[in-house]
Structure 1
C-alpha cells in the first residue's frame, strides 16, 4: 500500500481543529503516529522521537515541511479525532 492509498482510507476522518491554528496537516500526524506505534512507540513523546528520527523520510514524502510538532501538539490533534470515524478507517 502506498501513502496515497493510505490517505484515501483516512480522508473520512474530519479535522476538528480550528483552521487558523493548524500548522501540521492531520494526515501527517495520523500517518506518522500510526507508523510510530507500529514500530513500538508508547506515548506522545516516543511518537515525536520517531518522527524526529525519520524526519528526512517524511520530508521526502512532503510531510512535516514546517518541522516537527511538539508531543503536546501531536496529542491534541490526535485526541480531537472522532474515535468511531478513526475506527471505521481501520476496519
Structure 2
C-alpha cells in the first residue's frame, strides 16, 4: 500500500472533535500513532518522541 492510499483511507474517519480545539488533523495523529507503535513506542510520550525524531519523514515534500 502506498502512503497516499493509506492517508486517503485515514481521511475517511470522522473527526468529532470541536474544530476550535484542533491542532493536528486526525489522519496525521492516526498515522504517527500507528508508525510509532509499529516502531515499538509504548504510550503517548514515546509516540511523541518517535514523531519528533522522524519529523522530516512525516513532513510533505
TM-score by length of 2: 0.87
Aligned ranges 1:1-91 → 2 under 5 Å: 1-59=1-59, 61=60
Could you say which structure has the greater relative contact order, defined with CA pairs below 8 angstroms and 6 or more residues apart? 1
- The count of corresponding residues between Structure 1 and Structure 2 is 61
The SS at the match of 2:6 is helix
Distance in 2 of aligned mates of 1:40 and 1:5: 24
- Residue 29 of structure 1: how far off its partner (Å): 0.6
RMSD: 1.3
Q: Which runs of 5+ in 2 are unaligned?
A: none
